[in-house]
Structure 1
Amino acid sequence: MGLVKDSASGNDQVLSPGQIEARIANGQSIVIIDQKVLRVDTWLPYHPGGFKPIQHFIGKDATDEFIVMHSAETRRLIDRYKIGRIEGPWNNLVPPIQGGHEDSNWEEKEKKTPPIDGSNSNHIPEEQDLAFLNAQTKKEISLTLDRYPSLDAPTQSNIIERYRLLHEQVHSEGLYECRYTAYLWELGRCGLLFAQMLFFLHIKWYCTSAVFLGWFWSQMVFSAHDAGHMAITHDFFIDNLIGMIIAAPIGGLSLGWWKRTHNVHHLVTNSPEHDPDNQHLPFLAVNHRFLGSLFSTYHERLMPYTALAKRLVPYQAYLYYPILMLGRFNLYVQSWLFLAYGQGPRKGPAWWHRYFEIAGNIVFWAWFGYGIVYRSLPTAGTRILYVLISHAVTMPLHVQFTLSHFAMSTADLGPGESFPQRMLRTTMDVDCPEWLDWVHGGLQFQAIHHLFPRVPRHNLRRVQKLVLTFCRDVGIPYALYGFVGGNQKVVGSLAEVGRQAAILDECRRVVAGRIG
C-alpha cells in the first residue's frame, strides 16, 4: 500500500481550489476527507471495494461517505495519503469519470441540459429523440427540485451538520453494536430450511424440496449482505470470510463481484450512467434516459437501445416479475465473469479473495450441481424443473433489491447535493410490522441502510425513528410505502417509461415515413 509523498512541500500545506483542480487535470486522484487533501493514486489497485467508488469522488469532499462506509481502523490510515489541507468549505468538482475536467463549474453546467447519451459516448441519437428525451429530463429535474430542499450552500451545509449529529447519536446509542444472538437465530432458521429441503428430497417430493432450497438461499443472502458491509463484527477479515462462505460454497456466487457493484451503487445511487444496479438493458429501462442509449461508466461501454430493447421495454411492466424470476442465473454469470477475469483487487488485504471464491464455487457445484441435481434426481425433466423452481422462488428477493430504487428519483442534481439528501431522494423504505422483519431481511430499511451501511440490520428499526426526526428537521421527504404500495409504484414507473418508449417509437416511424 504505497504512500504518495509530494516532494515539493510538506503534507500540511494549504492547497487552493486552483491547485487541486490543476492536479486533477494532470491525472492525479485527489479526494478530500475531513479538510485533508488526499492523493490516492497508489491505493486504487489495493482498495478492497474496487477503484471505481474512489473515482466517483475525485475532486469532491467524501467525508460523510468515507466515514459511514469504513471502520475506525481504516479511517485512521488516511494520513499516509495526505498531501495538504484546505481551509473553509469546499465546492465539489465534477469527477473526471462523470465528465468533469479542470474547468468544472456546476453553476455553468447546471444551465445546460444533462447529456442524454453520457459524456463518453460516441452514440448520437436522432434529433427528434433528443428533443423528446431532453424534455423529459428537464421535467424530472424540475419536479425533483420542487420537492426537495434547495441546493444552495447554506441549506446543504445545514443538512450535512444535522446528519453528522445524527451519526454521533447513532453511535452513542450503541446502534452500531451487533446482537450476535440475532444471527444465531438467523443461522438456526436457515439450518431448518436446509434440513427441510433434504427431507423432502429424501421422500422424493422434489418440487417441495426445491421451494425450501430457494427460501434457504434467499434467507442466507441477507447475512451475506450484512457481512459485505462489515455490519456483523466490523472486522474486515472476519466479515468478508463470513460473506464469502455464504456467497460461494453455499450460494454459488461471488461476494467480491457484489461488493464491486454494490459499493458504486451506494455512492452514485440511481444514476443512470453510473449505478450498475440500474443498468438492465435490453430487458428493463428504469428511466427514460436509457431510451437514447447511455454510456455506462461502470461497464465502460455503450448501453445501446437496441432493436430487442425497443420490443421489450414498452411491455416491461408486464415482464418485470418474470424477468426477476430468472435473476439468480444472471448473478451466476456476473460472478463467473468477475472471477474469471480477475476483476477484483489483486493486491492488498483482499488479494486472496478471488482464489477462495473460485474454490468455494467448485464446492457449490459439487454439492448442488452434482450431489443434488445430477445424483439425487431421477430424470432430466425433474432436474430442469428442480433448478427452475429453486431459482424462481428467489424472485421476491430480487423484487426486494429493486423495490427501493426503481421508482425513485434518477435526476442528476450536481455535486452540490449533500450525501444524506441524495440517499433519501433516491431510496424508499418498505413499511411492515416488526414480526415480519425476518421476511425482508433488513432490506425494507434501504433508506436507513444507505445512510448508515454498517449498522447491523437488527438495529435499523431503531435508527429509523431517529431518521424520521432528522427528515422533519431538515425538510427532506422520507419515502415510506407498504410492500404492495411499493410494488405498485415500481410497476407504475416502469409502465410510464414503457409508455414513453412507445411514444418515441411512434415518432420515429412517423419521421421515417415522411422521409420515405
Structure 2
Amino acid sequence: MASETYVTVAETSRPAPGQRRGSDFARLSRRIAQEGLLDKRPGYYAVRIGLVAALFAGTWTLFAAVGDSWWQLPVAVLLAVAFAQVTLLAHDLAHGQIARSRRVARIAGLLVGNLAVGLSYGWWMDKHTRHHANPNHEDHDPDVAPDILVWSEKQAGESRGLPRFIGRHQAWLFFPLLTLEGLNLKLSSFRALRRRSLKGRGTEGLLLSAHVLAYLGAVFLVLPLPKALLFLVVHQACYGVYLGCTFAPNHKGMPVLTAEDELDFLRRQVLTSRNVRGGRLVNTALGGLNFQIEHHLFPSMPTANLRRAQPIVRDYCASLGIDYVECGLVESWTQALRHLHEVGRPLREART
C-alpha cells in the first residue's frame, strides 16, 4: 500500500480512471501540457533548496552563537519559519514536483521530513494523498475528519466529549489550538510507526528518533532548563501556527462534500479549494499553496509554474460557469473562522 502512495500523489494530475478523453478536465489538462507547465524546473528548485538549507543551517548556527540568552526566543521564532519552509519542500517532494526519480524523492523526503523536522514522510504522504483524492469530503478526507474540531453540522451532531465541548467555541479556539499542531504532527508520526502498511518503518523510526535526540540534545546542551523549555514552547507553537495559517486558508470554509455529492474531477477540486491573492511575499511564505486550485488540479506541477497556470484555469472555469474562489489572506482566514463558528452553532443552541 505504502509503495503505491507516491504514484498516487505524483500522478493525480492525470485524468481519473474512467474519465473521458474529451472531459472538461482532459481538455484543460491538454492545454496546460501544451504550455509546458508540467515540465520540471530544476533551476528553480536548486535555488529554493539552497535558500531554505541556508536558512535552516544558519538559524541553528545563530542558536549556537547566541548561547545562554533570552535573545534565543526570537531565534525560536526564526527556527519555526525555517522548519515550516523545510516542511513545504517535503510537500513538493511528495508530489513529485522536484525529482523525476521516485527513489530519489523518497530518500530526500525522509531526510527533509523525518530527520530535519521530525515529520514522518510516509505517513504524511499517505494522508495527503487521500486528501487530494477527495478534498473536503467529510467521509474520505482525513483533513476534515472529526477529531478535536468539527467541520460540518453532521459531525457536530455526532460529536461527544471534548470535541463537543470545544466545538461550541471552536472558531475562538482555532488559533490557540494551532500552537499544538507541531507537537501533534510529531506524535502522529511516531504513532504511524505501528502501522504495518507504512513502508520502511525501521528507517522512518530511526530517522525520527535521531531528529528528536539531536533537537532536544542541542537545546538542552546550550540552554539551562527554564530557557530550554520556553524555547521549545515558543518554537513548536510558532511552527504549528505557521503551518496552520499555510494550509487552513486553502479549503476551510469551502463546501464540505458528502456521499450525495457527485462531482467530476474538475469540479470536485475547484469548488472545494480557494486561492489566496498576494504578491511575492505571500507566494514565498505559503510555498505556492496560495494557488491551491491549480495545485489540486495539477499536483505534480512545479510551484514556480502555478502562477502561469492560474489565468488559464480561471478563464477555463469561467467559460464553464464553475465558481473560482479567490480572496486575500486575511479574508481567507475570516471565511474559515466564520465556517467553524457556524458549524458550532447547533452545539451552542443545544447547550442553551
TM-score, normalised on structure 1? 0.63
Q: Is the 8 A contact 1:201 1:209 kept in 2?
A: no
- 1:437 and 1:179 map into 2 onto residues whose CA distance is 17
Query: What residue identity is the alignment partner of 1:252?
Result: G
Q: Tell me the CA shift for residue 46 of structure 1.
A: 6.3
Summarize the Cα distance change of 1:191–1:66 in structure 2 as closer, same or farther, 3 Å threshold: closer
Partner SS for 2:5: coil
**1:291 maps onto 2:156 in alignment:** yes
Q: Is the 8 A contact 1:428 1:447 kept in 2?
A: yes
Aligned Cα root-mean-square deviation (Å) = 2.6
Counterparts of 1:430-445 in structure 2, within 5 Å, are 430-445=276-291
Larger helix fraction of residues: 2
Report the counterpart of residue 32 of structure 2 in structure 1. Answer: 170
Summarize the Cα distance change of 1:191–1:233 in structure 2 as closer, same or farther, 3 Å threshold: closer
> Which consecutive residues of structure 1, in runs of 5 or more, have no partner in the other structure?
1-44, 54-64, 79-88, 91-156, 294-304, 345-350, 507-516
**1:333 maps onto 2:289 in alignment:** no
Q: Is the 8 A contact 1:231 1:454 kept in 2?
A: yes
Q: Tell me the CA shift for residue 415 of structure 1.
A: 6.6
Q: Tell me the CA shift for residue 335 of structure 1.
A: 0.6
Counterparts of 1:111-190 in structure 2, within 5 Å, are 161-190=23-52
Q: Is the 8 A contact 2:168 2:347 kept in 1?
A: yes
Q: Tell me the CA shift for residue 407 of structure 1.
A: 0.3
**Aligned residue among 351, 355, 361 for 2:208:** 361
- 2:116 and 2:328 map into 1 onto residues whose CA distance is 31
**Aligned residue among 375, 386, 393 for 2:231:** 386
Q: Is the 8 A contact 1:69 1:229 kept in 2?
A: no
Partner SS for 2:344: helix
Q: Tell me the CA shift for residue 280 of structure 1.
A: 4.4
Q: Tell me the CA shift for residue 318 of structure 1.
A: 0.7
Summarize the Cα distance change of 1:274–1:234 in structure 2 as closer, same or farther, 3 Å threshold: same
**Aligned residue among 109, 112, 129 for 1:243:** 109
**Aligned residue among 319, 322, 326 for 1:473:** 319
Q: Is the 8 A contact 1:405 1:427 kept in 2?
A: yes
Summarize the Cα distance change of 1:415–1:501 in structure 2 as closer, same or farther, 3 Å threshold: closer
Summarize the Cα distance change of 1:308–1:387 in structure 2 as closer, same or farther, 3 Å threshold: same
Summarize the Cα distance change of 1:386–1:66 in structure 2 as closer, same or farther, 3 Å threshold: closer
Query: What residue identity is the alignment partner of 2:332?
Result: G
Counterparts of 1:51-450 in structure 2, within 5 Å, are 68-69=12-13, 161-194=23-56, 195-204=58-67, 205-281=71-147, 283-293=148-158, 305-344=159-198, 351=199, 353-370=200-217, 372-378=218-224, 380-394=225-239, 395-412=241-258, 414=260, 416-450=262-296
Q: Tell me the CA shift for residue 170 of structure 1.
A: 1.5
Q: Tell me the CA shift for residue 47 of structure 1.
A: 4.5
Q: Tell me the CA shift for residue 499 of structure 1.
A: 1.9
- 1:199 and 1:422 map into 2 onto residues whose CA distance is 45
Q: Is the 8 A contact 1:431 1:481 kept in 2?
A: yes
More off after superposition, 184-193 vs 435-444: 184-193
Partner SS for 2:267: helix
Query: What residue identity is the alignment partner of 1:249?
Result: L
- 1:308 and 1:359 map into 2 onto residues whose CA distance is 33
Q: Once the two structures are superposed, what CA deviation does each residue of 1:238-282 show, in whole Å capped at 9, x if it has no partner? A: 11222121101101110111111111111111111221111242x
- 1:46 and 1:441 map into 2 onto residues whose CA distance is 26
Partner SS for 2:327: strand
Summarize the Cα distance change of 1:191–1:417 in structure 2 as closer, same or farther, 3 Å threshold: closer
Query: What residue identity is the alignment partner of 1:367?
Result: A
- 1:426 and 1:418 map into 2 onto residues whose CA distance is 12
Summarize the Cα distance change of 1:411–1:332 in structure 2 as closer, same or farther, 3 Å threshold: same
TM-score, normalised on structure 2? 0.91
Summarize the Cα distance change of 1:417–1:481 in structure 2 as closer, same or farther, 3 Å threshold: same
- 2:42 and 2:320 map into 1 onto residues whose CA distance is 34
Partner SS for 2:33: helix
Report the counterpart of residue 9 of structure 1 in structure 2. Answer: none
Q: Tell me the CA shift for residue 389 of structure 1.
A: 0.9
Q: Tell me the CA shift for residue 66 of structure 1.
A: 9.3
Summarize the Cα distance change of 1:439–1:66 in structure 2 as closer, same or farther, 3 Å threshold: closer
Q: Once the two structures are superposed, what CA deviation does each residue of 1:70-91 show, in whole Å capped at 9, x if it has no partner? A: 79xxx9xx9xxxxxxxxxx89x
- 2:257 and 2:283 map into 1 onto residues whose CA distance is 31
- 1:487 and 1:190 map into 2 onto residues whose CA distance is 26
Q: Once the two structures are superposed, what CA deviation does each residue of 1:443-500 show, in whole Å capped at 9, x if it has no partner? A: 1111111111110111111111110111011110001010011011111111111222
Q: Is the 8 A contact 1:428 1:446 kept in 2?
A: yes
> Which consecutive residues of structure 2, in runs of 5 or more, have no partner in the other structure?
none
Summarize the Cα distance change of 1:432–1:289 in structure 2 as closer, same or farther, 3 Å threshold: same
Relative contact order, higher structure (CA 8 A, sep 6+): 2
Partner SS for 2:28: helix
